Structure 1
Amino acid sequence: MPTVTQTPLAASDVEFQSQISQVQELQSLGFYRRALLQLSDIDLLEQPDSLIKVHGLHLLSDLQRIVGDLTAAQTTIESAIATAQTLDVIEIAPMLLSLGHIAAASGETEQALEQYEEVSAIASTPQLKLRSHLSQLPLLTETNYSQIATLYTDIQTLIERLPVDKTTVNARLELARYYLESPIGNDIATPQVIAQNLATARNQAQTLSDSYAESYALGYLGELYLKQQQLSEADDVLRQALEIAEALRSSELTYQWQWALGRVHVQQNRTALALSDYENAVDSLKTLRGNLIAIAPDLRFDFTERVEPVYREWVALLLSSQSAKKSAEEPAKDLTNLQKAQGAIESLQLAELENYFAEPCVPLSQDISQIIENTTSPTAVLYPIILSNRLEILLKLPDQSLQQYTVAITQPALEELLNQFQIDLRLPFTSNTLRTLSAQLYDLLIRPAQPALEQSNIDTLVFVLDGSLRNVPMSALYDGQQYLVENYSIALAPGLQLVAPQPLANRNLTTLVAGLSEARHGFSNLPFVKAEISQVQQTTSSRVLLDEDFTEAQLTTLLSNADYQVVHLATHGQFSSDAEDTFILAWDKPIQVDDFNTLLRQSDQTNESAIELLILSACDTALGDRRAALGIAGVAVQAGARSTLATLWNLDDETGALFSNYFYQALQQPDTSKAQALRLAQLQILKGEDANSQLYQHPRFWAPYILLGNWL
């Protein structure tokens, strides 16, 4: 490598370097989004080629990757590499390492491994080689078991040869975390070796005055003891780890050790202590709202592994004492525990959406218990909660305390039933098998609560659905004689904290309708979209954007210049558990879920000019994605509309036009709620008298429509 001649920095370079340093400081404190915003304000590509520019681009790419913008991260790091190569004085191995991280985050395992191996081959320092080896370890678990033992030994050897610093301490912690989480951890090391590594890491962290690393070393040692059923030792070291975390006021450390202590106390049958630990852990997580992405990114933080289980295990513990004392038909009595369980599920729904967007969602309603008391029609809220060994159902009826029902079914058995139900719903000629599956789900979800629903004369059911339950329509549950929609109006809520129910004030609807009938961007044509739009025009005062007129810019202009109560988008859409894969198709481009907040002007449904109803027809949720319908909730929250009507799958036939006609006619009738209008439209398709009425009895034609949010 050529020798770099040191020259004094120009004044502009000094300012540039100062800005980069400020961003690095924010990054080191875990303020990734703030750091990204500050760095994005600097037009790095317009800067003259220099070492500082390369460093800034590399830093920007890392921040983009951490917050989940992988496409931008890839483009930026490629610019950094290209600039470095023109200068011919900068080692590109660290940038290739970042390129590997992006590939790994994108699920491109083989490409990531190739990048890491190249870094290992050309790295100029053993520290960089160590980081590359550590990055390969979890990927090899998925692809090549035979190399893992050798790589693990190489990592351990590198650690021992290097001087004690933050890199080597973190490497020891990384090896411990891998052992604790990997299914083959016991094949590559013994508990004694891991315990010694953690003891060394703790001593070295103390030498470096690195309290964070010391807390992690103690916490991981506690989890190791828990795994080995050395419960007394686990309790002792976890308390030490927690004491350091609390002194640091570090919620991301505190919740982990509170959670681990809860698991220890469950094993010790110290239920009261365990409940307190879990409650403390959830409280600590609440302080991390909007910053969950900042939790230990170097240790491959994952929401589904490191946050969601805290809530679920707490709920299971809160409800388990009740489950042992009653049958599936008998409601529980411990209201304090039930209220805490309800609050935990509400908080989990909120945290899941926050993780989906990597930014906070602001609750609209804090008084959950009063929401259904103020509705004009008798309304019940059901919380089906999927636990590993059972299904729990919380029921809230007007003017009554929470009730609990427990159904004995394992999570794998329920997931299998839901998956098959979801597949059969989309297929023709499956009525008999579909009704069998639907009846099984009815018996699980509705039958236990049916007497209480009938006694209270309930006519509207609001579901706060959990996990894979979101992917199937509740309207299609079958009691042996009738579908659920034949007896109830049905709506969904992404947690009642995000819903502000209020009746539709003006029945003279003004509607902005946009649709695609022609094939675009690899998606097929939608020949029945024109008929659907025609039906909307006949029933409401409408402005239409069709095909080439339906662009993001045109939609934005119209929404900016007039207030529409309803925005109806008849186009291809895709709902996914990944925000990057959730979009609505316009003529010129797919509109990503993150853009809906800006596009629809309002993100606060309590605002007077908020859109009453966002309709997304011809959209689809991906089969095989257990959290695909999370994308519908994501669109609804970003749009800020009071209600969202979406389809779980796309039929693209004349029923779309029929449904639109029936729904808008019903919605404009006085005192008809949105949930009731949806029900009436579905029933007219199910029980219609036209030539295809026999065909349309199959739920695939009327069940895909779901109402999310304000059901009034």
Structure 2
Amino acid sequence: MTLPGKHLALKLLLGVVGCSMAWKCGEEKEPDLLENFAKLRQQEQMQAAADTVLAHPFEFRKIFDDAVKTGLRQRFHHRADGAEEQMELALEIAKIYQEKLDDPFLRNEFDFCNGLAGERLGKKLELDSLYHRAYGFQSRLEYDSAQSIYQKSLALCREIGDLRREVDHLVQIQTILYKQDYNQQALQTASGALNIAREIHYRPREAWLLYDIGNARIELGQFREALQSLDTGLEIAETLRDRNCQLSITWRRGIPLWLLGEYPEALKALNQAIELNRGLGGNPVQESRIYIDRGNVYQSMGNYSQAEKDYREAVQLVKSAGEPEEAEAVAVLNLGELRRILGGYESALDSLFKAAELFKALDNPFYRAAALKIAGDVYRDQGLWEPALGQYQLAQQTISEGEKAGARRSKRLQSEILLNIGDVYRENKNPALALESYRQAVNNFYDIEFREGIAHALTRLGNLYREQGDFRKALQNLAAAQQAAAALQNPLLESNAYYAAGLVYRDQEKIGDAEASFGRAIRTVESARGNIEGLEKITYFATIQDMYDEMILLQYRKSDYATAFHFSERSRARSFLESLLSASAKEKAESVQPFPLPEIQASFSEDLQLVEYKLTRDKLLIFVLDKDNLRATESPVSRQRLNDLVSRFRKTIGADDPADFSKKLAQSPAQLYRDELNLAGELYQLLIQPLEKLLSPEKVLCIASDEVLAYLPFAALASPGQYPPVFLIQHYTIGYAPGAAILKYSLDHRKPELEPARLKLFAVANPLGDLPYAEREVNNIAKLFSHPATLTGSEVREEEVLHHLKQEYEVLHFATHAIIDEKSPLYSYLILGRESYLNPQISPDRSIHKAVAKDDLLMAYEIFDLLLPQSRLVTLSACKTAAGRLYRGEGVVGLTRAFMAAGSSSVITTLWDIDDRFTAMLMEEFYVNWLQKGMPKARALREAQLEIIREMAQDEQFRFPHPHRWAAFILNGDYW
């Protein structure tokens, strides 16, 4: 398992942008300042005139430049009076700077320009004209034309000895080199310009040149040196009161601090930059870019929620500016990378492909290649190697095409693509090519001192050497990776390196070392979960399950079943447990830990046994827990085989392909039944037979499934070779729970028992008028309650339902349509009104398959926010309500979890769509068993299912008790 972290520091090219802003600042008030200065001079108030200059030193530099430029032009055209007036103004300003600020630069510039005449003056005006012409080409990204003209005018500068203009030319030349990714040449050019600027005391340019040098050093991986340059430049900018330069340098300081792993200082710099930007009027595009960089820092710190907030804020800021900007595309790109890290693969691809299109429109091949590369990472993380390789190759092609058009490649991005192509070679069993790719990538990362890339590459090398059996080299590389990751304080990088070391020790049979490494990896990733919120916490948890699996397998091999079970619990339904415990105990979610084994057993009654499955890479581990004992066994079935068996079984019984089921049922019900039993028997052998002797039919069997087993109707499993078959439900009363900790929570929070006569029912049925049996079902169930409240048909409206849900009913029953959104499970919903759909196509099994409007829908995220403290039972007598999105480790997220989180002790749901008539029969039988016969809920459901089995076996039309008709209903939570 690999968990790559941040891909690269995406550079936003600001060198010349910053300078342009600096020289344009204050244009609107310069005429007023000049007019005021002139009046004071005329009135011979020289001190007041000097004070005006000192109060606005930045603006008066620009006034000086304009005066000299105008004076030289008038002199060239023989307008002596006008020239003298302008030069006199410039001299007065220069004297104030020299006398009051000890700054001789303007006086030196005045003396040089005032001495120009004849041919030298003509060349001065010519080079100024060429300079501005070249800058126009540069602004249009026509770099070759700009460079050609700059070289001509630079020669003129040197010919007449214009050192100030020579510095200006070198600044623009280095900017072009930087933008084309010629960072070493840019650094050399800027350094040469800096020496001249210092020689002539050209302080404003000195500050900006130090900024430019810092940029080039960042791209070269010289982060400490970059920081030194930026710090020196910031001191000068503060002295000169150049607030634009202060902003740009303060902002840029955050980048090397981030890449050096000095996250608090990086955040401090970026926060200061935000305040400086707002003090200058709040440029939204500029602020969005700062938010992007701050989001990168938070992401490296593992504070993923804050990172996402910053990226989203960046997008909104750019949109508020009313024009498309590169910053928006970069923010979308970083959102995609963040979602990849957290395991939200669909939304990651949406963001990344959107970013790629934005960058294509902006004609930016470098960033487009970055988006395509990360899209490849998304496919790689899911084991989809062919599309991953396709994205990597497309990224390389994009960079190559950009080079032909004049863009320069980024060594860092190329190296990261190379690193990930090595992953593809490794997966395709080509270790030689993988090793070559990894070595080349790590050498490149060392060259540019990109420590995050170094840690990634060393971890990959360690994994590859382990697979080749070279454990010594593997551990050498992984030790170096651990050291690099620790210096960066990056939890994902660090956990990857320790997990990989644990695999080496495991293969060496060094159990103690393996346990220590796996433990360190798990502690590190768990510490990062506190900085994640919402669904991202669940998707992130899914990406790190291999770490838990290896620790569980290791403890199982040691026969330390208690510790193995402990890590099984730590690996499952953590977000659900945290939400329950933090709500009830007012604890922070990140402080919640699974319960110790003795506490779990203490909550069990004598009539309860829990079977907890844990699916690992090559075997299924099974824990059997009751009040007094914990036992464990295994089943030799791989994840792939179990996925295939469950899929085939569900298709055969009509859970996933009802049309095919109905066709086979009509053609040959006997053959269909035999096919069902054969698969039921095969699954029974793998899932039940290994622990049969550990189970007691007198106890409730609570099942904590794992991964694909969440979709399996255990009640329909049957002992192979028996006819008529004996289904598991005929041996055991069955309930379900996400894990032992959730079951303990349900038992600990069991509501006080009430007489059936005191139970209040609220039931909803048939809002669309197409489920007549559902309406009959609710009417018949209501007769069993002393205090029923029902809404049926056109009476059902969401507003009315929500009103009733605030009345603290003990029993809630929904016999309506449900829509399960498996991509975004919190957007699953129950239909609660006749106006809630647009031309739907309704099936007779309470499912609906067309677009639904937003009114009269009870969404899963709304249910999570309900308060149902009195609810003993919620029955979702609708289609496929047990479904949702299955997350590895967390389990199924959907309507069931939403109602349990809202406070209900138990929830009855369905694993697939069932015919309306059979649903009504089973539900009515269940409520009679529970309310009139006094059975616990789990047993009442079992007896209702057994009654359907008996009726179908005796019915001439059916003859065979197909599981499709009765096995879909499951009880989650408190079984009593």
TM-score, normalised to structure 1, is 0.74
Q: Determine if the alignment matches structure 1 residue 179 to structure 2 residue 422.
A: yes
Q: Distance in 1 between matches of 2:422 and 2:325?
A: 39
Question: Of residues 650, 658, 671 in structure 2, which corresponds to 1:422?
Answer: 650
> How far apart are residue 408 of structure 1 and its match?
2.4
- The equivalent residue for 2:867 is 601
Q: Distance in 1 between matches of 2:282 and 2:401?
A: 42
- The equivalent residue for 2:556 is 319
One-letter amino acid of the structure 1 residue matched with residue 685 of structure 2 = D
> How far apart are residue 356 of structure 1 and its match?
12
Q: Distance in 1 between matches of 2:360 and 2:480?
A: 37
Q: Determine if the alignment matches structure 1 residue 366 to structure 2 residue 595.
A: yes
> How far apart are residue 582 of structure 1 and its match?
3.3
The structure showing larger relative contact order (alpha-carbon pairs under 8 Å, at least 6 residues apart) is 1
Q: Distance in 2 between matches of 1:56 and 1:667?
A: 61
State the Cα deviation string for residues 10-50 of structure 1 (Å, max 9, x = none). xxxx9xx9xxx9xx99x9979xxxxxxxxxxxxxxxx9995
State the Cα deviation string for residues 187-236 of structure 1 (Å, max 9, x = none). 99652342232243245347xxx6x5554454344334335543212212
Q: Determine if the alignment matches structure 1 residue 391 to structure 2 residue 620.
A: yes
User: How many correspondences in the alignment?
Assistant: 638
Alignment of 1:275-354 (within 5 A): 275-291=515-531, 303-304=541-542, 306-320=543-557, 334=559, 337-351=560-574
One-letter amino acid of the structure 2 residue matched with residue 341 of structure 1 = A
Q: Distance in 2 between matches of 1:296 and 1:694?
A: 47
One-letter amino acid of the structure 1 residue matched with residue 563 of structure 2 = K
Q: Determine if the alignment matches structure 1 residue 489 to structure 2 residue 733.
A: yes
- The equivalent residue for 1:443 is 685
> Contact between 1:613 and 1:641, CA under 8 Å: does it hold in 2?
yes
> Contact between 1:535 and 1:660, CA under 8 Å: does it hold in 2?
no
Aligned with 1:264: secondary structure?
Answer: helix
Question: Of residues 254, 257, 262 in structure 1, which corresponds to 2:497?
Answer: 257
Distance 1:574 1:175, change over 3 A: farther
Distance 1:484 1:99, change over 3 A: closer
Q: Distance in 2 between matches of 1:673 and 1:142?
A: 52
Q: Distance in 2 between matches of 1:73 and 1:584?
A: 34
Identity score, percent: 20
Aligned with 2:644: secondary structure?
Answer: helix
> Contact between 1:390 and 1:411, CA under 8 Å: does it hold in 2?
yes
> How far apart are residue 517 of structure 1 and its match?
4.0
> Contact between 2:714 and 2:728, CA under 8 Å: does it hold in 1?
yes
- The equivalent residue for 1:325 is none
One-letter amino acid of the structure 2 residue matched with residue 664 of structure 1 = Y
> How far apart are residue 555 of structure 1 and its match?
2.9
Task: Identify the range of structure 1 (661-670 vs 140-149) with the bigger mean alpha-carbon deviation.
Answer: 140-149
Q: Determine if the alignment matches structure 1 residue 512 to structure 2 residue 775.
A: no
Alignment of 1:530-545 (within 5 A): 530-540=775-785, 541-545=787-791
> Contact between 1:535 and 1:661, CA under 8 Å: does it hold in 2?
yes
Question: Which protein shows a greater Rg?
Answer: 2
Task: Identify the range of structure 1 (624-633 vs 538-547) with the bigger mean alpha-carbon deviation.
Answer: 624-633
Distance 1:151 1:376, change over 3 A: closer
Task: Identify the range of structure 1 (620-629 vs 385-394) with the bigger mean alpha-carbon deviation.
Answer: 620-629
State the Cα deviation string for residues 57-103 of structure 1 (Å, max 9, x = none). 99999999x989xxx9999999777655x457877654675798799
Aligned with 1:494: secondary structure?
Answer: coil
- The equivalent residue for 1:585 is 831
> How far apart are residue 629 of structure 1 and its match?
4.4
One-letter amino acid of the structure 1 residue matched with residue 635 of structure 2 = V
State the Cα deviation string for residues 370-397 of structure 1 (Å, max 9, x = none). 5455555522111222233332222123
Q: Distance in 1 between matches of 2:973 and 2:928?
A: 21
Q: Distance in 2 between matches of 1:701 and 1:214?
A: 58
- The equivalent residue for 2:442 is 198
State the Cα deviation string for residues 101-160 of structure 1 (Å, max 9, x = none). 799954797996575255146345x7535534534545896559678546437659999x
Alignment of 1:162-177 (within 5 A): 169=412, 172-173=415-416, 175-177=418-420
TM-score, normalised to structure 2, is 0.56
Q: Determine if the alignment matches structure 1 residue 556 to structure 2 residue 819.
A: no
Distance 1:188 1:510, change over 3 A: farther
> Contact between 1:372 and 1:379, CA under 8 Å: does it hold in 2?
no
- The equivalent residue for 1:653 is 916
Aligned with 1:539: secondary structure?
Answer: coil
> Contact between 2:604 and 2:627, CA under 8 Å: does it hold in 1?
no
> Contact between 1:178 and 1:185, CA under 8 Å: does it hold in 2?
no
One-letter amino acid of the structure 2 residue matched with residue 496 of structure 1 = A
> Contact between 2:478 and 2:497, CA under 8 Å: does it hold in 1?
yes
Q: Determine if the alignment matches structure 1 residue 683 to structure 2 residue 946.
A: yes
Distance 1:439 1:580, change over 3 A: same
> Contact between 1:179 and 1:185, CA under 8 Å: does it hold in 2?
no
Aligned with 2:783: secondary structure?
Answer: helix
State the Cα deviation string for residues 429-465 of structure 1 (Å, max 9, x = none). 33222122112222222222222324xx632101110
> How far apart are residue 489 of structure 1 and its match?
1.0
> How far apart are residue 422 of structure 1 and its match?
1.1
Aligned with 2:623: secondary structure?
Answer: strand
Q: Distance in 2 between matches of 1:536 and 1:61?
A: 54
> Contact between 2:348 and 2:378, CA under 8 Å: does it hold in 1?
no
> Contact between 1:380 and 1:458, CA under 8 Å: does it hold in 2?
no
Question: Of residues 404, 419, 425 in structure 1, which corresponds to 2:632?
Answer: 404
Q: Determine if the alignment matches structure 1 residue 618 to structure 2 residue 878.
A: yes
Question: Of residues 438, 463, 470 in structure 2, which corresponds to 1:230?
Answer: 470
Q: Distance in 2 between matches of 1:448 and 1:617?
A: 34
> How far apart are residue 484 of structure 1 and its match?
1.4
Aligned with 1:649: secondary structure?
Answer: coil
Q: Distance in 2 between matches of 1:83 and 1:667?
A: 59
One-letter amino acid of the structure 2 residue matched with residue 416 of structure 1 = D
> How far apart are residue 667 of structure 1 and its match?
2.2
> Contact between 1:423 and 1:623, CA under 8 Å: does it hold in 2?
no
- The alignment's C-alpha RMSD in Å is 5.0
State the Cα deviation string for residues 158-202 of structure 1 (Å, max 9, x = none). 99x9999xx865764464245326746969965234223224324
> Contact between 1:119 and 1:129, CA under 8 Å: does it hold in 2?
yes
Q: Distance in 1 between matches of 2:951 and 2:752?
A: 27
